[in-house]
Amino acid sequence: MNDFSLHILDLTENSLNAGADDIIITLVTKGGKKILVIADNGSGLRGIEPRKVLSPFYTTRTTRRVGFGLGLLEQLTRLCDGWVKVVSAKPHGLIVISVFAANHWDLPPDGDMASSVITLMLTNPQCRFRINYGGEYSIHLDSYDLANLDYSEKISRLTDAFLPTEN
C-alpha cells in the first residue's frame, strides 16, 4: 500500500466485516511520531492471540487463506522504526495502534484522505465514523453530524472539511 489512506481503508474494511457500527480513525503527528489508531466496536479477536492477526498468512475469511492488511502495516511500522499493537476493546471490539518515526524516509504520505473518508462515510451509512486527522491541518469529523443531509450536501461538507482554510 502506497499511503496511509489505503491502510485506513483496508483496516476499516476489517472493522466493518467484523460487524462494527462505530469506528474511530485517528492519524496524527506528535512529538516526532506519526500515529495511526483504528478503534471499533466489532466482534474483536474472539479468543485469537493478538500477535497471530499480524501475520499475513492468517485470516478469518473463508474466501482465501491470506490476509495481508495487518501484516503489511506491521512491516511498514518496523521499516519506519515503529511498532504496532492490536488490543481487545472492552466490552467488545478492537484497537489497532501503530506508531512510526515521522521523519523516516520510508514513511509513506497520508494520501488522498478526503476521498477515503468520503468513500467510507457514503458507502457505509449504517456505521458511525469519527475521524481525527492531524495532517497539514486538523480535521475532526463525525458522520452523525451529516446523517440528515442529502447525498450532494454530504459530499460538499466532507470535501470542504479537507480543504485548507485561507488566513
Contacts of 125 (CB under 8 A, 6+ apart): 143, 147
- Say how far apart CA 96 and CA 25 lie, in whole Å: 10
* 167: pLDDT strictly greater than 70: no
| Residues 55-74 pLDDT 10s | 655 555 556 544 557 888 99
Is the pLDDT reported for residue 142 higher than 60? Answer: yes
The pLDDT of residue 164 is 64
Burial class (CB in 10 A: 0-12, 13-18, 19+), 29: middle
Please state, rounded to an integer, the average pLDDT across all residues of the chain: 86
Residue type (1 letter), 44 = G
Q: Give the 3-state secondary structure of residue 82.
A: coil
Going along the chain from its start, the domains and CATH numbers come out as 4-161 (3.30.565.10)
User: Within 10 Å of residue 119's Cβ, how many Cβ atoms?
Assistant: 15
pTM of the model: 0.87
CA 167/CA 13 separation, integer angstroms: 37
Helices 151-161 & 113-123, crossing angle to 10 degrees?
150
Give the angle 88-94-98 at the CA atoms, nearest 5°: 100
Q: Stretch 8-12: mean pLDDT, rounded?
A: 93
